[in-house]
Amino acid sequence: MLEKGGAKVLPVIPQLIIPIKTALNTRDPEIIAITLKILAALVNCSDTIGEALVPYYRQILPVLNLFKTKNSNLGDKIQYSQRKNLNLGDLIQGTLEVFEMHG
């Protein structure tokens, strides 16, 4: 839907906010990572969606603030979550940059 939807996604933004907020409030790192990837794809699918999400930032951003510093520091060890793109701190930073560019 996000790849082919384009402008058809814009009218359903208000209906998507409650499930997105619920997913973020689970505070489960895997669910938050998936939700962040979906949010980034949602904003990238059309030019107007970033602006349409601005009124809902108050509901989305507080949970991101809790996890923005959650980067794992392993020293010299290999971090395998980096390959799967599951590092929450980096995902949150990337999603916020997408929000800033499009909204």
* Predicted confidence (pLDDT) per residue in 85-96, tens digit: 667 888 899 999
Give pLDDT, residue 88.
86
* Predicted confidence (pLDDT) per residue in 33-67, tens digit: 999 999 999 999 888 899 999 999 999 999 999 88
Sign of dihedral through CA atoms 60, 63, 66, 69?
negative
Give pLDDT, residue 73.
58
Domain ranges of the chain: 13-102
Give pLDDT, residue 4.
75
pTM: 0.82
Query: What is each CA distance from 26 to 17, 35, 85, in whole angstroms?
Result: 14, 11, 19
Whole-number percent of the chain with pLDDT over 70:
84
